[in-house]
Amino acid sequence: MKDDKTLSFMKSLFMGEIQQEILFPYPQQDEDEKENLKMILQAWNEFAENSVDPVEIDKIAQIPDEVMDGMKEIGMFGLPISDEYEGAGVSKTSYCRVFEEICRYDTGIAVMFGAHASIGTNGIVLFGTEKQKAKYLPKLASGEYVAAFALTEPGAGSDAAGIKTKAVLNKNKTAFILNGEKIWITNGGVAQIATVFAKTTVQQNGEEKEKITAFIVELDSEGVSRGKKEHKLGIRGSNTASLNFDNVVVPVENMLGPIGKGFLVAMETLNTGRLGLAAGCIGGMKELLRQAMDHAKSREQFQKTLDRFQLIKQKIAKIASETYALESIVYLTTGLHDKGGIDVSLESAICKIYGSEVVWDASDEVVQIAGGLGYSADYPYERYLRDARIHRIFEGTNEILRMFVALSGIQGPGEYLKNVGKALRNPIKGFGLLTGFAAGKVKDTIARDELKNVCEELKEEAEQFNALVARLAAITESVLRKYGKKIIVEQYTLNRIANIAIELLGMAAVISRVDTRLKEGKSIEKDLPLAKLFCNEAASRARREARYVDRNHDKERSEIAEFLSETGKYPMDMLMEK
Amino acid sequence: MKIAILLKQVPVKDATLELNGDGTWIDEDDVQFEINDSDHYGLAEALNIAKDNDGEVTVVTMGPDRVKESIKQALAKGAHQAIHINDEDVKSSDPLTRAKIIAEAVKGENFDLILSGLQSDDYGYGQTGVLVAEMLGMPHATLVVETEINGDKIKVKRELEGGWFQNIELPLPAVLSIQSGLTDIPYATIKGIMMAKKKPVADVEADDLGVELEGGAFKLEKIYTPVKSKETAVLKGDADSVVPQIIDKLKNAAKVL
Ligand SMILES: Cc1cc2nc3c(=O)[nH]c(=O)nc-3n(C[C@H](O)[C@H](O)[C@H](O)COP(=O)(O)OP(=O)(O)OC[C@H]3O[C@@H](n4cnc5c(N)ncnc54)[C@H](O)[C@@H]3O)c2cc1C
């Protein structure tokens, strides 16, 4: 039984079910869109090649006005806004491909742009009323307004639901009075409007409850003050600053989405925003590879250029195959998003986790390939390292997102188990439950779902994928039986489950990409080694995670951490002890 | 005011070029193409003149189907419409024949001004604009660095040799070839890109224009990659034995002594 809500490739994997009709064929852009995209990239490249100087941007910790103005002139700021509101209205796929290219030049610009276009504007696109859209989107599209997204507070980072900023409806119900502080806000010092999240009092079943509501706040309003620019490790061109709200009057028309539904607005906005971030990581990877090859092909040691040594090849092949996998999952996800009707929240989170980690690893390895030069501030390598680091922290830390992936993934089977439980308690009533809802799933799980008709070339990889999906479903079921609702605090286990899911999405996307190319008569000669290397490494990582679910040293882990929590420092001094 | 820009599509600057089978041109199969560099400046000037004089810019491009992409790009940069002269079957590369075809194709349009770039990056003849002017019986000026419309005349500044300039005035309609590097090349805007699809492109078949395609003023017999003539020789030994060798090389091989 598949209703629309369960139409999620990743979520069904947790039930042992492989939704092939979602996975195959790998999504494609139509020719018209492709041609437009090519021209947009060309326009950006022509501009960026002449105008973007990442060294200078890093040094002055600011994006020069000429770059901002140029981007606005080209129309970049309106990329995801529909033409109805004077934007370009490109698909998520095209948007992400352009984002990739922005990040290839400068990560700071990409972060500024993402805060504006991915998360600053997206709330209004998704939840805005006609009036709000007409008022704000054209200005956001032209760049007359730069946008920000203001959720984080001193006391509420990962625990975004714990925000303290408060919006109280005035007496004649014309406006909310906003008080509170937001920190770490990208574009905080330069934006004209921000989507701000605040607690509001909502009536629910006759009771008063504190619930989050989203607002569009014009930052030149009285009572808004901006903190000074944060001094950062990387992405130094992007402006990060706090925003303080002191009795700011926000008209009721500026409430974004329904009252009390602000958390949903925030999560939905971030869901799609994360895809941009992940796409940026693809751009970073491609640029890192280019830099690495430039160096490895020219630097000679032992009468050979570095690229001739196997240990350098190993690094390069790893980065390239991870770039291939990242591309595959990002554009699978954007393709599914563009198709519509498919829940890609898990896929988006995985793209963000995977992208931010492989680009970090890659920047580290490229510093290594560059040797001493890698450590020099006169060369670009260390900047890539500094710039890449942020992706694991913002738009949901990778830890939080792993919990999100695992917990949302096991939700489906959890529901099903609840039904099985009920069914077992009351066999007669339960019969209906089982046939109506879950019987099919039980059968599926037993029969083991499989990728069908995958090309010969990737048969072994597909088999490993099938086995791992069955494994994921079995683990999910067994941990649910073991921990029940308390699974929520079992982070060691949830982390492993998330890690398996991450590898599985990578394998699925790569297999679909290669298979689709082949079936369209395109050459897969260059794809195959990349695909095979990634799939086999991914499968072995996933198998290891699966093994550790039951056999691990979590007890020791907890003991050590508890001990350090008590002592507050490393508890031994080997040589000085008696 | 009706302005035409003759815009050509050429292989991208860093393309790896291979000769075709009979050695008369490059093998175009795996080559990417782009708008000829000089023509960007012609287009920029056309757009500027159009802006100041309530004009319309028509891109005129000859070539096979692939040139549609460059046409669309020029439209995205702000040109209003285009004429695509399809010469899929025309193998002639001689500038005279090409100019005849273009002249025939634009004759009926009554352009007030026809602009071109300085030269093309593939053949580099630099003749097309001038030839078109002659065939249409219009005055022309080359190496133009500044223009100013003055009623039914146009004042132009031409760049001459040795830092000299010439200011002249031509009656309209006229043909100008624009010097490269002096105006800012317009960027395609994303909105322009999305709108380009909706702008009119008239298709003209080169075969239908009644121009004799065979023969031409001259024929390309053969092209070839330059033969490497320089050699590096490493002379070994101590100073006493190397010095006479160097003198010998400089005298007899390099012939500079
Ligand atoms: C450069 C930059 C730009 C930013 N831009 C914006 C912006 O535009 N808008 C905005 O609203 N915010 C923005 N942020 C804030 C960012 O989203 C937060 O920093 C992030 O969500 C983490 O919150 P925190 O800093 O409070 O860390 P904490 O929440 O204190 O987390 C610290 C560490 O603890 C871990 N942790 C926390 N809770 C748990 C848990 N339950 N289980 C396991 N581990 C846990 C985290 O993963 C992390 O490793 C930005 C931050 C930076 C650095």
3-class DSSP string for A185-225: EECCCCCCEEEEEEEEEEEECCEEEEEEEEEEEECCCCCEE
pLDDT at A56: 97
CATH number of the domain enclosing A202: 2.40.110.10
Report CA(A401)–ligand 1 centroid distance (Å).
11
Domain that holds residue A182: 147-259
The reply to whether A470 falls in a domain is yes
Chain A residue at shortest CA distance from B196? A36
Asked if omega into A25 is within 30° of 0 (cis), the reply is yes
pLDDT at A578: 77
Pick the last residue of a domain from A259, A279, A310: A259
Q: How many domains does chain A have?
A: 2
- Nearest CA, atom 32, ligand 1: A158
Report CA(A155)–ligand 1 centroid distance (Å).
11
Q: Is the pLDDT of residue A6 over 80?
A: no
Query: Which residue did the predictor score with more confidence, A181 or B245?
Result: A181
Closest ligand 1 atom, CA of A151? 11
Tens-digit pLDDT profile for residues B224-247: 888 877 778 888 889 999 999 899
pLDDT at A383: 98
- The H or E element spanning position A298 is helix A262-298
* Rg of the Cα atoms in chain A: 25
- Nearest CA, atom 11, ligand 1: A151
Question: Between chains, do B73 and A39 touch, taking CB under 8 Å as contact?
Answer: yes
Chain A residues with beta carbon closer than 8 angstroms to that of B192: 75
Is-contact A97 A83, C-beta < 8 A?
no
pLDDT at A388: 98
Tens-digit pLDDT profile for residues B132-175: 999 999 999 999 999 999 999 999 999 999 999 999 999 999 99
In B128-167, the residues whose Cβ lies within 8 Å of chain A are: none
Question: Between chains, do A39 and B197 touch, taking CB under 8 Å as contact?
Answer: no
A70–chain B nearest CA distance, Å: 9
In B191-210, the residues whose Cβ lies within 8 Å of chain A are: 191-194, 196-197
Question: Between chains, do B190 and A42 touch, taking CB under 8 Å as contact?
Answer: no
Query: Which residue did the predictor score with more confidence, A453 or A366?
Result: A366
Tens-digit pLDDT profile for residues A491-535: 999 999 999 999 999 999 999 999 999 999 999 999 999 999 999
pLDDT at B223: 87
Question: Between chains, do B189 and A74 touch, taking CB under 8 Å as contact?
Answer: yes
Beta strands in A286-412, from DSSP E residues, in sequence order: 300-301, 304-305
Question: Is B2-209 assigned to CATH 3.40.50.620?
Answer: yes
Q: What's the whole-number mean pLDDT along residues A1-15?
A: 74
Which of B30, B40, B73, B193 to substitute to test the interface with A, most A CBs within 10 Å? B193
Pocket test for ligand 1, best of A113, A122, A158, A235 (most atoms within 8 A of CB): A158
Which of A38, A42, A142 to substitute to test the interface with B, most B CBs within 10 Å? A42
Pick the last residue of a domain from A207, A230, A259: A259
Q: How confident is the model at residue B95 (pLDDT cuts 50, 70, 90)?
A: confident
B180/A271 Cα distance (integer angstroms): 48
Task: For residue B99, count other CB atoms closer than 10 A to its CB.
Answer: 24
pLDDT at A214: 98
Catalytic residue among A17, A357, A395, A503: A395
Does A42 touch chain B if contact means CB atoms closer than 8 Å?
yes
pLDDT at B186: 84
Q: Is the pLDDT of residue A417 over 80?
A: no
pLDDT at A433: 42
Mean pLDDT of chain B: 90
Q: Is the pLDDT of residue B91 over 70?
A: no
Pocket test for ligand 1, best of A181, A360, A393 (most atoms within 8 A of CB): A393
CATH number of the domain enclosing A537: 1.20.140.10
Q: What would the two tokens of residue A101 be?
A: 């290219």
Chain B residues with beta carbon closer than 8 angstroms to that of A35: 69, 72
- Nearest CA, atom 26, ligand 1: A157
* A193-204 and A255-256 beta bridge pairing: unpaired
Question: Between chains, do B191 and A86 touch, taking CB under 8 Å as contact?
Answer: yes
Task: For residue A211, count other CB atoms closer than 10 A to its CB.
Answer: 17
Q: Where do the structural domains in chain B lie, given as residue ranges? A: 2-209
CB pairs under 8 A between A and B: 52
pLDDT at A402: 98
Question: Between chains, do B193 and A86 touch, taking CB under 8 Å as contact?
Answer: no
Residues with CB under 6 A from ligand 1: A 115, 148-152, 157-158, 184-186, 232, 240, 390, 393-394, 397, 399-400
The reply to whether A316 falls in a domain is no
Farthest-apart Cα atoms in chain B, separation: 78
A250/A217 Cα distance (integer angstroms): 7
Secondary structure letter of residue B94 according to DSSP: -
Closest ligand 1 atom, CA of A400? 47
Question: Between chains, do B189 and A73 touch, taking CB under 8 Å as contact?
Answer: yes
pLDDT at A435: 40
Q: How confident is the model at residue B216 (pLDDT cuts 50, 70, 90)?
A: confident
Cα dist from A162 to A4, A166, A403, A543, whole Å? 31, 11, 18, 37
Q: What is the pTM of this model?
A: 0.88
pLDDT at A211: 96
Pick the last residue of a domain from A259, A282, A301: A259
Does B181 touch chain A if contact means CB atoms closer than 8 Å?
no
Chain A residues with beta carbon closer than 8 angstroms to that of B197: 32, 36
Name the burial class of residue A36, with classes exposed (0-12), middle (13-18) and buried (19+) by CB atoms within 10 angstroms of its CB.
Answer: buried
Q: What's the whole-number mean pLDDT along residues B181-199?
A: 88
What's the one-letter identity of residue B72? K
Can A86 be counted among the known catalytic residues? no
Where b means 16+ CB within 10 Å and e means fewer, A147-177 reads bbbbbbbeebbeebeebebbbeeeeeeebbb
What's the one-letter identity of residue B210? G
